[in-house]
Amino acid sequence: MLAENRTVLLSGPDIGPLEQEYVLAALRSGWVAPAGPDLDLFEREIADRVGVPHAVAVNSGTAALHLALLGIGVGPGDVVVVPTMTFAATANAVAYTGATPVFVDCDPATGNLDPDLLPGLLGEAKAVLTVDLYGSCADYDRILPAAERHGVPVIEDAAEALGARYAKSPYAKSPDKKSPYKNRAAGSFGRAAALSFNGNKIMTTSGGGMLLTADPELAARARHLATQARLPAEHYEHAEIGYNYRLSNLLAALGRAQLCRLDEMIERRRAVRDGYAKVFAHVDGVLLPGADDPAANCWLTGIVVDPERTGWPARDLAAHLAARNVETRPLFKPMHLQPVFAGARAVLSGAAEHLFRNGLALPSGSALTGSEVRRVLDDIAEFLEGHR
Ligand SMILES: *Cc1c(COP(=O)(O)O)cnc(C)c1O
């Protein structure tokens, strides 16, 4: 097929010679059994990168979330606060424990949990899950102190945010007020955090995740549950139900190669985002949620369209791009609108639904070539030109 006509993907994996070298070396080393030296090194390297003492590599981000919730004692009958603007995995992990998610709406400018809606729930919540949506940290300056005042632990879903830091502060407008969290890495907030290395994330192990925590007991407990809760005995001894959640050594080798390239891949995604910011800069009624966050990892860049002001809805741009083999996707459909969570409690402002109805995620992957990026930007410019 002509390169010109190849579909431009939303967020495809970015794999090269370094990844091949690491995986082949692991294969040749004979460490094909799940455990092995690459797995231990991958945990150490991710922990060091994020600046957290303990890391447990698992086979998905969802598994990491599940183990984090179990690790802080979430179980049947508990209420867990979950941002409604997220991927289903966040809420599914809560459901696995038997606890009940209560969905909370988002800040319209970033899509992240709206801290103003939190206080009313902290009296009854067993835990608060935060999501660093599309690679931009949640508003920790306001969420963490509020949760702490009520003694409610926070679990950070940083599945989309490896490499991001916390920069945005509600105090930003008064620079004399310092944020204690400024510049802290995504994955270091709360009692434990979950990363994902799914194929579409900022870096991939083709499928995988990591639980991060400063609490050695929580890490040990997660490791135990992730290996079928097998007790140290020569025969197979089990005192409780466990899970088969560990990452394999071969996939950890792939992750180690990707981690070497993480900064380069983030820079690439940032350049793509800057291109979109430029092409939409003078379009009245188009907003790029979270795009003014200087410390985001720029995992996915999306737009939110106000059709009253632009004169066109987001789906028209999506159709224009689809006709030119450019993949786009709506922003996440909020959890409170999902059939599976119909009837769940939700504290709503309408912001998440607005993002869903009027949003569009644009191709953002680090594997996009320069000519693919130019092609998408030209296609958007052409659309805007025709809709002035
Ligand atoms: C991808 C993702 C997950 C789940 O990660 P998997 O590795 O696919 O299980 C969880 N939460 C969010 C917000 C995600 O985007």
Question: For the CA atoms of 189, 193, 198, 200, what is the dihedral angle to 10 degrees?
Answer: -20
359 is a domain residue: yes
Q: For ligand 1, is residue 61 a contact (CB within 6 Å)?
A: yes
Q: Which two tokens stand for residue 47?
A: 């922990």
pLDDT one-digit tens code per residue, 337-349: 999 999 999 999 9
92 is a domain residue: yes
Q: Give the angle 62-67-68 at the CA atoms, nearest 5°.
A: 95
Asked if residue 305 lies in contact with residue 284, where contact means CB atoms within 8 angstroms, the answer is no
369 is a domain residue: yes
Number of domains in the chain: 2
Identity at 46, one-letter amino acid code = I
Is pLDDT at 1 greater than 50 in this prediction?
Answer: no
pLDDT of 169? 62
Asked if residue 265 lies in contact with residue 82, where contact means CB atoms within 8 angstroms, the answer is no
- Mean pLDDT, rounded, of the chain: 95
Is pLDDT at 215 greater than 70 in this prediction?
Answer: yes
Task: Name, in order, each residue with C-beta under 8 angstroms of 110's C-beta and a sequence gap of 6 or more.
Answer: 133, 136, 139, 168, 289, 290, 293
Identity at 347, one-letter amino acid code = V
pLDDT one-digit tens code per residue, 76-116: 999 999 999 999 999 999 999 999 999 999 999 999 999 99
Atom of ligand 1 nearest to the CA of 207: 7
Q: For ligand 1, is residue 198 a contact (CB within 6 Å)?
A: yes
Q: Which of 59, 85, 157, 333 to mutate to test the pocket of ligand 1 (most atoms within 8 A of CB)?
A: 157
Query: 346-347 and 286-287: which strand pairing?
Result: unpaired
Q: Which two tokens stand for residue 172?
A: 């930003």
- Does residue 354 sit in the same domain as residue 278? yes
Task: Map residue 190 onto helix, strand or coil.
Answer: strand
- Does residue 281 sit in the same domain as residue 145? no
61 Cα–ligand 1 center, Å: 5
- Does residue 224 sit in the same domain as residue 310? no
pLDDT of 100? 98
Strands of the sheet containing 359-362, edge to edge, are: 286-287, 301-305, 359-362
For residue 132, the 8-state DSSP code is: -
Q: Residue 60 sits in a domain of what CATH number?
A: 3.40.640.10
Task: Name, in order, each residue with C-beta under 8 angstroms of 352's C-beta and a sequence gap of 6 or more.
Answer: 84, 85, 105, 106, 111, 334, 336
Q: Residue 299 sits in a domain of what CATH number?
A: 3.90.1150.10
- Does residue 90 sit in the same domain as residue 195? yes
198 Cα–ligand 1 center, Å: 7
Atom of ligand 1 nearest to the CA of 198: 7
Neighbours of 61 (CB within 10 A): 27
214 Cα–ligand 1 center, Å: 21
Identify which of 302, 309, 329 has the alpha carbon closest to the alpha carbon of residue 106.
302
159 Cα–ligand 1 center, Å: 5
- Does residue 212 sit in the same domain as residue 266? no
Query: 100-104 and 346-347: which strand pairing?
Result: parallel
62 Cα–ligand 1 center, Å: 6
5 is a domain residue: no
Q: Which of 85, 90, 113, 137 to mutate to test the pocket of ligand 1 (most atoms within 8 A of CB)?
A: 90
Boundaries of domain holding 112? 17-260
1 is a domain residue: no
Average pLDDT on 171-184 reads 74
- Of 209, 242, 260, the one marking the end of a domain is 260
Least confident of 3-12, 150-159, 176-185, 220-229: 3-12
Take atom 10 of ligand 1 and give the residue whose Cα is closest: 89
Task: Name, in order, each residue with C-beta under 8 angstroms of 153's C-beta and a sequence gap of 6 or more.
Answer: 72, 127, 128, 147, 190, 191
Q: Which of 58, 87, 211, 338 to mutate to test the pocket of ligand 1 (most atoms within 8 A of CB)?
A: 87
Q: Which of 67, 162, 198 to mutate to test the pocket of ligand 1 (most atoms within 8 A of CB)?
A: 198
- Does residue 242 sit in the same domain as residue 270? no
pLDDT of 5? 72
- Does residue 194 sit in the same domain as residue 319? no
Identity at 322, one-letter amino acid code = A
- Does residue 225 sit in the same domain as residue 319? no
11 Cα–ligand 1 center, Å: 14
Take atom 2 of ligand 1 and give the residue whose Cα is closest: 159
Is pLDDT at 125 greater than 80 in this prediction?
Answer: yes
Atom of ligand 1 nearest to the CA of 131: 13
- Of 209, 243, 260, the one marking the end of a domain is 260
